[in-house]
Amino acid sequence: MHIMLDDGKTESPVKILLICGAAVLVPWVWGVWAMPLWVALVSMLFSGISVYLIYLQIRSLTENLRARGAAAQGAQERHASGASDSAAALRDMLGQWLGTSQAATSNLQQVRAMLDEVTTQSESAAASIGNSFRVVMQKTGQQMDDALRLLKSNSDGAGGSTWLSLPDFIKAYEKQLDTVTGRMMDFSKASEEMSRHQDLVREHSLAIDEMLDELRNMAARIRKLALDSTVAANRDQSTDTRWFIEIADRIRETSTSAHELTRRMRDGLEQIREVMGRTYEELSKSSDNVRMAAVQAKVDVSQLNIATMEKAREVTGTLEKITTLGKEVRADINQIIVAMQYQDITHQKLEHIKSPLLATAAASISEVAAKTRASGIKPAVGVVMETPVKVRDDLVPGKTKTVDVEPF
Amino acid sequence: MSNILIVDDSMTMRQMVNFTLTSAGHAVTEAGNADEALLNAQKQRFDLVISDVNMPGRSGIELVAELRKLEAYKFVPIILLTTESQPEMKSKGRAAGATGWIVKPFDPEALLGVLRKVLPA
């Protein structure tokens, strides 16, 4: 066994024991001759024990020193080994970072591409929906206008003509019918008036007839008077009767002519009465027919108008429903317009995320990756964390033409 | 019927405004940015201009200022239609000469109501 000292040298235990004994005995060994023997022996015994105890102490101390030295050496060895491990770990971590940053850059590019695709698709979807709504609204508006035109008067028709609404048309039709039936009634009244006039004419003709009778009687009396005058003149020889007889003959001829004339006038009056009678019958028949037709027409027209007005009310109700539906459609479209604006605002925010935020992030990551690569550290094999980005089928260009409008 | 110019970089937004205005019987011209709008404004006179604020290139507020420099647009109503609602932005718009400020998303009926107010009868 050897004891290592602080300077690293080792000494044998015997030598150390001798040195310790000398160090203990030398101070008092010069006085051995002056003390009793037993004192000297006991002193030497205790000196030996003391030397041994000192030896044990020194031994323990040297062993501690040696253990500390061994520990220090172990620590030094371990330190050297640890530094090597840390460098390797750092390399691994940087390698992982390089791989991750490359993967992240790739993913960011994919995300940008996806955002581009999403915004393009959403914008085209919005444009398509907008166009469709424009067409639908135009057609709906046209239908509503056409329907409402049935009920609305239009005084701005082409060529200055006036279009009447259905109710106005019915009212105008009813007015026309009223006018026609009124005129028919007037005709009927006129016929009755004519009949009354005919009665008056008949009365007058009867009076004329009586007058003709009177005239005929007068003519007969005049002829008889002329005849009597002629006879009386022939009996009276005292006067010149030739002139008188001639006058009487002329009077008789005139009376005969008047008689013939009254007869012919009576025949004419008879014919007139006969014609007037037939006319009166016809006129009465026509008047009755016209009156009945007018009354019936008024009844029929009244019923027809009631039915037509009822139908017009139904049409009006239907058109009002159409108008209400049109307003509701308009409100729905307004809501869709607002929703599409939200979509557009979202789209613009996505654009803002894509550029410049995503572009900045991608550039930063690329720069870090480039610097890492430039530092000479190679990525450790198998540590790149590839995170495959799952792209929706409907967002893959050319894969499908359908547009996803569910977000509305 | 009025002749209206719409300026917005978003095609969707232009279409929505266009649809709303044409349904009300107005004639509409679209522009995708301030430069295009200025060209259109110099070619013909519009009764009203509706513009976005945040656009690539010149902003809507700059467009308002440029339009106000034109003699024909000194008194033409110009409405800014934007997602911006900060008071300071509104103040900038007013200072540039904007007639009104509508925040997106707009209600079509409200937009038409504003037009009825600013357009001459």
For the segment B90-107, what is each residue's pLDDT rounded down to a tens digit? Answer: 999 999 999 999 998 899
Rounded Cα distance between A253 and A290, Å, is: 54
Residues of chain A found within 8 Å of residue B20, distances taken between Cβ atoms: 337
Buried b / exposed e over B74-87, threshold 16 CB at 10 Å, is eebbbbbbbebeee
Q: What phi, psi does B102 have (nearest 5°)?
A: -120, 130
Contact at CB, B12 and A134, closer than 8 angstroms: no
A337 touches chain B (CB under 8 A): yes
- Which tens digit of pLDDT belongs to each residue from B49-63? 999 999 999 999 999
What residues does B3 pair with on adjacent strands?
A: B27
**Helix-helix angle B34-43:B60-69, to 10 degrees:** 20
Kind plus residue range of the DSSP H or E element containing A391:
none
The arithmetic mean of pLDDT across residues A370-388, rounded, is 52
When pLDDT is cut at 50, 70 and 90, the band that residue A119 belongs to is confident
Of A196 and B46, the structure prediction assigns the larger pLDDT to B46
Whether residues A334 and B109 touch (CB distance < 8 A) is answered with yes
Check pLDDT > 80 for residue B24: yes
Backbone angles phi, psi at B2, to 5 degrees: -115, 155
> Is some CB atom of chain B closer than 8 A to the CB atom of A133?
yes
Q: Is the pLDDT of residue A271 over 70?
A: yes
Q: Is a pLDDT exceeding 90 seen at residue A268?
A: no
Predicted confidence (pLDDT) per residue in A148-159, tens digit = 666 665 545 444
- Confidence band for A355, pLDDT divided at 50, 70 and 90: low
By C-alpha distance, the chain B residue nearest A348 is B10
Q: Is the pLDDT of residue A10 over 80?
A: no
ipTM of this complex > 0.90?
Answer: no
How, if at all, do strands A10-11 and A3-4 pair? antiparallel
Nearest CB among A126, A130, A342 relative to B105 is that of A342
Write the pLDDT tens digit of every residue in A383-395. 333 333 343 344 3
The pLDDT mean for chain A works out to 73
Task: Indicate the pTM of the whole model.
Answer: 0.48
Residue A335 has pLDDT above 90, yes or no: no
B79 to chain A, closest Cα gap in Å = 17
A164 band by pLDDT with thresholds 50, 70 and 90 = low
* Shortest CA gap B74–chain A (Å): 30
C-alpha A23/C-alpha A53 separation (Å) is 13
